[in-house]
Amino acid sequence: MSAFLRWLFYIFEYLKERPASLVVYLSFAVFLILWPAGFLVPYGVTVGTILGSVAIALSSIGSGHILDKWIIAGIGTAVVGLCTATDTSEQLRAQKLRSELEKDIQAYATLADVKHGFVLFVTHRLGDCVKAPPVDADHCDDLESLLEHVDELNGSVPYYKAEILRIRGRIRDSDDHLYNYLEADDRLRPVGDDDGSISACATNGTGYCRQRTAWVCHTLANDLFRRGCETIEISQRRDLFDRAQKQLVCVSKWFEGGFEQRLRTRPLDTVGLSAALEMQLKNPSRPCVPPPKT
């Protein structure tokens, strides 16, 4: 009998009296064979981490041989460490590739005609990303970051940053970017043909247009009204309702008739919001009926 077979025989003789330990060792052996062979892709890191964690937990309970416990705990710790290192390496590699891609795209999109076409494409993808359920906010973030690298002054950058934050439930942070949009809109929106359609934001190459500006104001008006309804102190309620009313003036200025949509964090259409604000401004202390919801 060769030395290797004799060694395996001794190990089996040692473990046959310890079936629980045998199962754990065999599990590690199967994992370490299948993972490098590619059979566990893309779940190798997850499976290994779970297996190692379970082994560490098992080593601390039961009445097994102390040597087995130490060996199992050691192997479990090593597997968890290996999986963590692999996961970190993959993330760093992905980040490096992403950075290189962004640099390549930014360099490629320096020519005006190429840049305009690319911005149109990414903006269209962003619009689909934030609208089509189920929304993958991380993917939307990647698209927004790509757009910002290519054209950081484009109005779609603060607008979609705000939309993504709203998807994540961070309404107040979203409002900050909407105010940034409005501030830049005064400087960057071109004076010229704008038929009031959202397509003007793309065709004029700036990401700023009348309908989007009005929609931003409509969104802020909804948010300010909701905050006013949630506030107890009367003077603060009045101030928030006044600010919401000013945003509705902005809606009327840039998009006659306002909006009928009641989408996600914008529970009131323009007409309904105007009526609700009119009542609250007459008597800021009265409860909002029905109370607006996000």
- pLDDT tens-digit map of 243-273: 999 999 999 999 988 998 877 778 889 999 9
> Using alpha carbons only, what angle is made at residue 290 by residues 287 and 294, rounded to the nearest 5 degrees?
105
Contacts of 273 (CB under 8 A, 6+ apart): 218, 221, 222, 225, 244, 248
The most confident of the ranges 125-129, 140-144, 216-220 is 216-220
State residue 197 phi and psi, 5-degree precision. Answer: -85, 155
Distance CA 88, CA 37 (A): 20
Q: Which range has highest mean pLDDT (11-15, 39-43, 68-72, 125-129)?
A: 125-129
Give the helix ranges, DSSP H, for 111-233. 112-131, 137-150, 156-167, 171-188, 200-203, 210-230
Q: Highest-confidence range of 12-26, 77-91, 179-193, 258-272, by mean pLDDT?
A: 179-193
CA distance linking residue 216 with residue 208, whole number of Å: 11
Higher pLDDT, 66 or 226: 226
Q: What is the pLDDT of residues 27-68, one digit of tens each?
A: 666 666 666 666 555 666 676 677 666 666 655 555 456 656
14-28, 120-134, 182-196: which range is least confident on average? 14-28
Q: What's at 157, amino acid-wise? A: V
Give Dmax over CA atoms of the chain in angstroms: 98
The CA distance from 211 to 187, in Å, is 16
CA–CA distance from 124 to each of 48, 78, 119, 257 (Å)?
Answer: 40, 46, 8, 26
pLDDT (0 to 100) of residue 2: 62
Arithmetic mean of pLDDT, 182-187: 93
DSSP 189: S
Beta carbons of 249 and 201 less than 8 angstroms apart: no
pTM over 0.75: no
Query: In which band, very low, low, confident or very high, does the pLDDT at 159 lie, cut at 50, 70 and 90?
Result: very high
Predicted local distance difference test score (pLDDT) of residue 132: 82
> 18 in the Ramachandran plot: left (φ > 0), alpha (ψ -120 to 50) or beta?
beta
Q: Please compute the mean of the pLDDT values over residues 160-188 and round it to a whole number.
A: 94
